[in-house]
């Protein structure tokens, strides 16, 4: 491992810098600071976010869209947000649009399903040059673009993969998993950015010293392959680096223009509950669903695990589960706990079980050709969506007889899940088709404040708080009123050393 100054690294950086890492580790902050620094060096830079819950606008202080937008105060820097869902829909519309009004609706639906899948695999297996989509010329063009993009990402002289982490065990473990997966794909030019490295200035401050020790211990236990990567360390900042001028100070040693101003917030602080008092309130439900939601990295998994363990210790049967593919609730719990069961909704496993169940039910009624057609239909990406959604609905239904604590995926994915619930609910009430009762009752259960308690988890920082506020608005539009906010890792008061909560 070699540690390199950030400005030195940027001066000799490859043309493409690809920032990735666990939610909440500071990817957006460091990517923005790097882009601003490059612009300051007189270079042209394009900053792109593909996060469905992107906060690039907020960090840069400029309203962005899907087209490159100049950043005031940083000549040569342009930025844009790519919404993956909107981009995919726009592509499907371009391909299918000419066929609308010409082909039957069933054919159009089949085309949309194919375009929602892994088209590279479809192209590789197709030998005729046509499909129900018609000639594959446009798809082939997109495949060529995909291949050239992949080549650029795997070219060490063109691209550097920047793994962003905080000096925390879970974040480092996630960074190491990403390192290994991307290396297998040929993206081997990697380096590690450690964000929020903390050194206590006052050795008599017990909390500060404990925070420093925790960081050192996490780094000492870093996976060996990750530790061998070139490393850049960024100190924990005493201010929120929002806006171009403050972003310059992240790497450039320039004093921030926005100084922290102390305000007497005792009225807000003392209105909060301790986490133990919040659990007292949740326990009065007797059973039901507790969901932790918020921006990635805010501590949803930790809070969900703490609540589940405490309810189990009080003698209640509890099921702790997660819809977040990056969460590891079992590792957080750390072992067997009486009255507590732990699981995760695994998309691959759920899809396999769902497929096997459908095929088994259909086998007595279909011949070999019919089974082959059914198997082909089940390879649609829609199958995974239905399987995962059904698993989520079944997990929520367990709240009728026990406590279910759900650690949800980050904000953008949570909203997609709720949108799916709304769509499924409308379809069920319209058709009254043969669907499981758990799916039929999902949205009413989520909207029932006596059955489901939603906890919004945020860090005491501008972006996580704003994300949680936006999520609260989205939830209320869906007819779901959050029960409480949990401010994690708060230093506001000794009584809130772990977390504070207030109903809202």
Q: Which of 82, 16, 2 is nearest to 48 (CA)?
A: 82
pLDDT band at 309 (very low <50, low <70, confident <90, very high): very high
Q: Which of 129-133, 149-153, 253-257 has the lowest mean pLDDT?
A: 129-133
**What are the pLDDT digits (tens) for 274-296?**
888 899 999 999 999 999 998 87
Instruction: Locate 53 and state its tokens.
Output: 């819950």
* CA angle (210, 214, 215) in 5-degree steps: 120
Confidence of residue 415 (pLDDT cuts 50, 70, 90): low
Task: Tell me the per-residue pLDDT of 228-251, one tens digit each, with 9 for 90 and over.
Answer: 999 998 888 887 788 898 898 888
DSSP of 269-293? HTTPEEHHHHHHHHHTTSSEEEEEE
| Interval 448-502: pLDDT, tens | 999 999 999 998 877 788 888 888 988 888 888 999 999 988 776 543 333 344 4
The closest of 408, 470, 420 to 55, measured between CA atoms, is 470
Taking the CA atoms of 472, 401, 276 and 196 in sequence, report the sign of the dihedral they define: negative
Among 136-145, 246-255, 292-301, which stretch is predicted with the lowest mean pLDDT? 136-145
Local confidence band at 172 (pLDDT 50, 70, 90 cut-offs): very high
* Alpha-carbon torsion angle 54, 57, 63, 66, nearest 10: -40
pLDDT of residue 499: 39
Hey, what domains does the chain have and what are their CATH numbers? 6-85+150-252 (3.40.50.300), 267-503 (3.40.50.300)
The rounded mean pLDDT for the chain is 80
Q: Please report how many Cα atoms fall inside a 13 Å half-sphere around the Cα of residue 168, on the Cβ side.
A: 20
Report, as an integer, the average pLDDT of 341-356: 89
How confident is the model at residue 335, as a pLDDT?
Answer: 81
pLDDT band at 408; cut points 50, 70, 90: confident
Question: What φ, ψ does residue 403 adopt, rounded to 5°?
Answer: -85, 135
Tell me the C-alpha distance between 501 and 456, whole Å: 9
- Taking the whole predicted model, whether its pTM rises above 0.75 is answered as no
Mean pLDDT over residues 400-416, rounded? Answer: 77
Angle between helical axes of 347-362 and 368-378 (0-180°, round to 10): 160
Residue 144 structure tokens: 């060529």
The string of pLDDT tens digits covering residues 11-62 is: 889 999 999 988 778 899 999 999 999 998 899 999 999 876 678 888 998 9
CA 320 to mean position of chain CA atoms: 19
Q: Is 483 helix (H, G, I), strand (E, B) or coil?
A: coil
pLDDT exceeds 60 at position 149: yes
Q: Is 282 left (phi over 0), alpha (psi -120 to 50) or beta?
A: alpha
């Amino acid at each position: 491992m070699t540690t390199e100054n950030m400005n030195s690294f940027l001066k000799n950086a490859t043309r493409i810098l690809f920032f990735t890492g666990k939610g909440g580790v500071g990817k957006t902050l460091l990517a923005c600071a790097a882009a601003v620094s490059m612009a300051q060096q007189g270079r042209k830079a394009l900053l792109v976010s593909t996060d469905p819950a992107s906060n690039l606008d907020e960090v840069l202080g400029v309203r962005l869209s899907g087209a490159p937008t100049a950043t005031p105060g940083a000549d040569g820097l342009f930025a844009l947000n790519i919404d993956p869902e909107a981009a995919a829909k726009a592509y499907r519309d371009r391909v299918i649009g000419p066929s609308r009004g010409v082909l039957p609706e069933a054919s159009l639906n089949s085309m949309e399903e194919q375009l929602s899948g892994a088209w590279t695999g479809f192209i590789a297996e197709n030998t005729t040059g046509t499909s129900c989509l018609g000639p594959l010329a446009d798809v082939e063009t997109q495949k060529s673009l995909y291949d050239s993009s992949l080549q650029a990402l795997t070219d060490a002289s063109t691209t550097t993969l920047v793994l962003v982490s905080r000096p925390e065990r879970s974040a480092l473990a996630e960074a190491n998993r990403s390192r290994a997966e991307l290396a297998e794909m040929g993206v081997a030019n990697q380096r590690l950015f450690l964000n929020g490295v903390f050194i206590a200035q006052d050795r008599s401050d017990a909390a500060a010293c404990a925070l420093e020790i925790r960081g050192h211990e996490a780094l000492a236990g870093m996976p060996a392959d990750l530790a061998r990567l070139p490393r850049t360390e960024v100190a924990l900042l005493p201010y929120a680096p929002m806006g171009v001028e403050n972003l310059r100070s992240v790497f450039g040693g320039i004093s921030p223009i926005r100084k922290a101003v102390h305000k007497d917030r005792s009225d807000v602080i003392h209105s909060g509950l301790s986490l133990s008092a919040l659990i007292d309130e949740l326990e009065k439900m007797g059973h039901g669903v507790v969901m932790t939601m918020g921006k990635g990295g805010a501590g949803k998994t930790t809070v969900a695990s703490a609540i589940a363990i405490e309810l189990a210790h009080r003698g209640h049967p509890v099921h702790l589960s997660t819809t977040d593919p990056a969460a590891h609730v079992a590792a957080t719990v750390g072992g067997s706990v009486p009255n507590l069961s732990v699981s995760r909704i695994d998309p691959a496993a759920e899809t396999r079980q769902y497929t096997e169940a459908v095929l088994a039910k259909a086998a007595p009624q279909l011949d070999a050709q019919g089974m082959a057609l059914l198997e082909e239909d089940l390879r649609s990406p829609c199958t995974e969506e239905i399987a995962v959604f059904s698993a989520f609905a079944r997990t929520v239904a367990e709240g009728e007889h026990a406590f279910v604590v759900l650690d949800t995926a980050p904000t953008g994915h949570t909203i997609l899940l709720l949108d799916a619930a709304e769509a499924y609910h409308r379809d069920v009430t319209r058709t009254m088709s043969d669907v499981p009762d758990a799916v039929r009752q999902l949205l009413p259960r989520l909207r029932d404040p006596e059955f489901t308690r939603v906890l919004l988890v945020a860090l005491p920082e501008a972006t996580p708080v704003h994300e949680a506020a936006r999520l609260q608005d989205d939830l209320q539009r869906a007819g779901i009123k959050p029960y409480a906010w949990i401010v994690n890792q708060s230093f506001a008061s000794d009584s809130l050393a772990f977390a504070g909560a207030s109903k809202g």
